[in-house]
Amino acid sequence: GEGGVMARNGAVRTVQGVVALAGLALAGVAAPGEIRAGEASVKLEFVEVPGGYLKADFDKLAGFPYEVPAAGATKPLEGQIPGPIRELDGRKVLVTGFMLPVKLEGGLVKEFLLVSNPMLCCYGVVPKINEWVVVRMKGPGVKPLMDIPVEFFGVLRVKETFEEGYLVSLYELEGERMG
């Protein structure tokens, strides 16, 4: 469907758009012998901003190689997400990126992909699986703002999510507000 949104049984499914991205990301599978995050010594520190949020920039969220499992997989390859990134799970974070709306209600965006770079998706550049965050806003949603970096505050979930045999996301944000 247009904008990565498909209806199934009357429900709009954001994940379908993400599945398409994940399928494209398979083209960037790491070469055998490439250093994986579990083997690398990556020092990651997150600065706290007012309100108790940790600043989780894409230079850190996407700053490690991730080998996407083959199509049909139901679980990830172990040890790829660095410990400091995993420790963000359930924490309040601030993430800055570019909005790609996938679900609108009453002119407001309820669900979208927050990507690290405006060239991703829109201009044919295939993003890596760790270069986007699936955001679901609480409340009525936010005004669509594209082509400019936007800050979002919320609770981050760091988990490998599979849908129909594809890894569709590493990060999901329960969006509280736009900065």
Which pLDDT tens digit goes with each residue over 64-104?
A: 999 999 988 888 988 999 999 999 999 999 999 999 999 99
- Band of the pLDDT at 45, cuts 50, 70, 90? confident
What phi and psi values does residue 84 have, to the nearest 5 degrees? -60, -30
Over range 96-123, report the average pLDDT.
88
Cα angle: 122, vertex 17, 148; to 5 degrees: 35
Q: Is the pLDDT of residue 32 over 60?
A: no
Max mean pLDDT among 16-30, 82-96, 111-125 falls in: 82-96
Position 111 scores a pLDDT of 97
Question: Which tokens is 66 given?
Answer: 């991730």
